[in-house]
Amino acid sequence: MNKKTKNIIWIIVAVVAVALVGVFLSDILNAATELSFTDFMTKIGNGEINTLYVDGYAWQGMLVTDGRIVASYTTVAPSIYDYASLTTLLQGFENVGVSVDITFTDPNAGSVWSSLIPLLGVVLVAVMFWLIMRSAAGGGGANMSINKTKAHVQSNLKVRFSDVAGAEEEKEELQEVVEFLKSPKKFAALGARIPSGVLLVGPPGTGKTLFAKAVAGEAGVPFFSVSGSDFVEMYVGVGAKRVRDLFDMAKKNQPCIIFIDEIDAVGRRRGAGLGGGHDEREQTLNQILVQMDGFEANDGIIVMAATNREDILDPALLRPGRFDRRINVNLPDVKGREQILKVHARNKPMSPDVNFKTVARITAGFSGAELANLLNEAAILAARAGKKTIGNLELYDGINKVLMGPQKKSRVVTESDKRCTAYHEAGHAVLACLCKHCDPVHEVSIIPRGRAAGYTMTRPETDDNDVSYNKLVDNICMSLGGRVAEELVIQDVTTGASADLQHVSDIARRMVTQWGMSDKLGLVAYDSDLPVFMGMEYGNQSRGGYSQETAATIDSEIRRLITEAHERATKLLKENRSIMDNMSRVLVEKETIYTEEVQMLMKGADYKEVIAYMDEKEGTHRDNPFASMTTPSPEHVVKEENESQE
Ligand code: ADP
Ligand code: MG
Ligand code: ZN
C-alpha cells in the first residue's frame, strides 16, 4: 500500500466519523419520541410542550426555545373526541400558552438546525464518495459494492397458481399477465396495451408475494425482487442507481418480472409528512417512475409491487403507464380459509377426524400466512407428542399459539367480537332497508377490511347525485344503526362506531352550516367547503366568521338532528328486532350476505332458512356478486368505515 492510498483512507475515516456525528446530531434534534396520549398530556401540563401541531389524529408536540426545537414528541389522539370536546381541549391548551396549529405542512421547516445538519451530512458524504471514486480510478481503492443491486433473482420458480388458495378472482386477473409474459410479441403485434405495472394491495400475510411468484412460476420467467425497505436509510443517489441497475438487468433478461415489495417504503406521497430529509426516498421513487415510463410497448417486463398502505402512495405511481392495474388481495373468507388450510395440509399427515370446515369457521380474521403458521405449529406439537398424524387437539393448540403471537394480539376476532360486529352491521343494513330514501343494500359483511371490522355497502339505483333533506336524514339514521344495535343488544357500546359518528356529525354539520337545512339558522352558508376532519373546521371561531351565539345555535341544531335520528333508529330497530337477530346469526355463520339474502330476511325469513338457501347455491354469489342486480353498473359505495379496535 503506497503512501497516497494510506492518506486517502485516513481522510475517508475522518470524513465518515464527522458525517456520522452530523447524522447522529440531526437525529437527536429531529427524533420525536412516541408517547402515550396520557404522557403527552402530562408533558403539556408540565409546560414541556409549548407548540402543538395537530394533523388529524396524529399530534406532534414540541418544546421550542429561541426558535430551536429542544424536544419533540408524537402521539395519536384517541378517536373518541368529537368536534365540541376537541375544540374545548385545544382551546384549553391555548389558554395555558401552548401554540396550537392544524397543519398539513412540515413543522420543522422553520428550524434552521433541522434543515442544515442533514445538508451538512449530505455534503460530507458527497465528498467521501468523490474521494472513493478517485481512489478507485487510481486503481488502489477497495471495491465498494454498495451500488450493486441487491435484487434477488430466481429463475425456475416452482410456485404455481394452485399453491395460492381461495383467490379465484385475483388469479383470473393475473392470468392475463401470465399469457403476456409467455409471448409478449404476440400481444404487441396486435397492439394490445398490457399493464406495465400491477399493484397488489392487501393486509400482510394475504399472499401478495406468493401471487407475484406464482405469476413468474406460471409464465416460466425470471423473478427479480427487491423490497422498498432496502432503499431507505441509504446514501443519496444509491437507491436511484440501484433502481437503474435493476431495470437494466431485467431488460437483459426479458421477459421477466420485477417485484417491488413494500413499495410504500419508497412510494410515499412526496412532500408530505413531518420532518424533511426524504431526498433519498424521493430520488428512488423518481427513478422508478422514469424507468417505468421508459418501457417500450413490446418490452416483456411486468413490474409488480405490493403494499398494505395504498392510501399513502404517491398518486404519480398510479398514473396510466405505471401501476395502472390494481388487484385487491383481501383476508380470506370461510371458504378461502378452508382451501388455504387444505393447500398447506397437502404434505402433512392429518388425522382423518380433522374437519377443515370447522377449523376455518373458528379462524375468522386469520390471514393465509397465519393459517400456514397454524398448521406448522400443529405439526410441531404433534411431533413433540410423538404422534404420527396431526389431530384436532394440536390444531386447537396451534390456533391459540398463533392468536397469542405478537402480531396477532391486536386484531383477534373472537366469537363475541364477531357477534358484536354482526349486530352492528345488521343494524345498518336493516335501517338502510327501512328508510325510504336510503340506497338498496348490496352487501353486508363482517370480514375485516382495512381498518373496518365489517362493512355494509349500498348502491344507488340511479346516477342521480342530488341529495335531498330526506335523503340526508335517512343517511344519518342508517349510519347510527350500528351504534344503536350495540346499545339494544350488547347493552354496552364499543369504539367500533367512532367512524360512523364522525360521518354523522359531518353530514349534520354541513346540513346546518352549508346547505341551509335548519329552520333556526335559515338559508345562510356559514362555512365554505373547507376540508373537514374529525367533523370540525378548526379556526372558524377565531376567524370571526360568526358570533359565539351563532356557534352555540349551530351546535344545538347539529345535536338536534342527530338526537332525532337516534330516536328514530332506536324505535325502528326495536320494532324489527327479530329481523336484526336473524340477520346477525346469518352473518356470524356466513360472514357475507348479498341483496337477495337481505331481502329474504327483511320479508321475515328465519336464519336457518336463509343459511340453508345459501348452502344450496354456495359459490354462485362469490363468482358473480352482481348477478342478482338489475342494472349492470358495478359501482357501489362503501357507506361506512367501522373501525376495529386497533
Ligand atoms: P404478503 O406478501 O401478502 O404479506 P405472503 O405472500 O408473504 O404474504 O404470504 C406468506 C405465506 O402465507 C405464504 O408463503 C403462504 O405460505 C401463506 N399464504 C398466504 N396466502 C395464501 C393463500 N391464499 N394460499 C396459500 N397460502 C397462502
Ligand atoms: Mg410479502
Ligand atoms: Zn358502522
Model confidence at 627: pLDDT above 50: no
pLDDT at 427: 96
Q: What's the 207 CA to ligand 1 centre distance in angstroms?
A: 3
For Cα atoms 348, 354, 358, give the angle at the middle one, nearest 5 degrees.
120
The sheet that has 455-458: what strands, in order across it? Answer: 592-594, 441-445, 455-458, 637-638
Model confidence at 569: pLDDT above 90: yes
Cis before residue 460, ω within 30 degrees of 0? no
Residue 142 — pLDDT band, cuts 50, 70, 90?
Answer: very low
Give the mutation target among 169, 206, 215 for probing the ligand 1 site: most ligand atoms within 8 A of CB: 206
> Once rounded to an integer, what is the mean pLDDT over residues 488-501?
76
Q: Of 262, 377, 425, 591, which residue is the catalytic one?
A: 425
pLDDT at 413: 63
Collapsing DSSP to helix, strand or coil, 414 comes out as: coil
pLDDT at 646: 31
Model confidence at 282: pLDDT above 90: no
Mean residue pLDDT of the chain comes to 76
pLDDT digits (tens, 9 = 90+) for 368-421: 999 999 999 899 888 988 889 998 888 887 887 776 654 444 455 677 788 899
pLDDT at 576: 96
Q: Is 227 in the pocket of ligand 1 (CB under 6 A)?
A: no
Q: What's the 560 CA to ligand 3 centre distance in angstroms?
A: 21
- List all residues 6 or more positions away from 639 whose beta carbon is below 8 Å from its beta carbon: 428, 432, 455, 456, 457, 458, 478, 479
Atom of ligand 1 nearest to the CA of 163: 25
Model confidence at 294: pLDDT above 70: yes
For residues 226 and 268, which has the higher predicted lDDT (pLDDT)? 226
Residue 529 — pLDDT band, cuts 50, 70, 90?
Answer: very low
pLDDT digits (tens, 9 = 90+) for 94-130: 777 777 765 333 334 444 555 566 677 677 777 776 7
Q: Which three cell numbers stand for residue 606?
A: 328465519
Q: Is 457 in the pocket of ligand 1 (CB under 6 A)?
A: no
Q: Are 594 and 625 in contact (CB under 8 A)?
A: yes
Q: Which three cell numbers stand for residue 30?
A: 429531529
Model confidence at 235: pLDDT above 70: no
Q: Identify the top-confidence range among 4-8, 449-453, 549-553, 578-582.
A: 578-582
pTM for this predicted structure: 0.51
Ligand nearest to the CA of 212: 1
Model confidence at 340: pLDDT above 60: yes
Domain boundaries in the chain?
Answer: 152-328, 334-404, 415-629
Q: Which architecture does CATH list for 152-328?
A: 3-Layer(aba) Sandwich (3.40)
Percent of the chain residues past pLDDT 70, beyond the cut = 71
Model confidence at 218: pLDDT above 70: yes
> Once rounded to an integer, what is the mean pLDDT over residues 531-558?
60
pLDDT digits (tens, 9 = 90+) for 438-455: 888 988 988 776 556 778
Model confidence at 463: pLDDT above 60: no
Q: Is 201 in the pocket of ligand 1 (CB under 6 A)?
A: no
Calpha distance 446→454 (Å, rounded): 4
- What would the CATH number be for the domain defined by 334-404? 1.10.8.60
Calpha distance 73→66 (Å, rounded): 18
- List all residues 6 or more positions away from 466 whose beta carbon is below 8 Å from its beta carbon: none
Q: Is 206 in the pocket of ligand 1 (CB under 6 A)?
A: yes
- What would the CATH number be for the domain defined by 415-629? 1.20.58.760
pLDDT digits (tens, 9 = 90+) for 15-30: 777 666 655 555 554 5
> Once rounded to an integer, what is the mean pLDDT over residues 188-200?
81
Could you confirm whether 425 is annotated as catalytic?
yes
Model confidence at 583: pLDDT above 90: yes
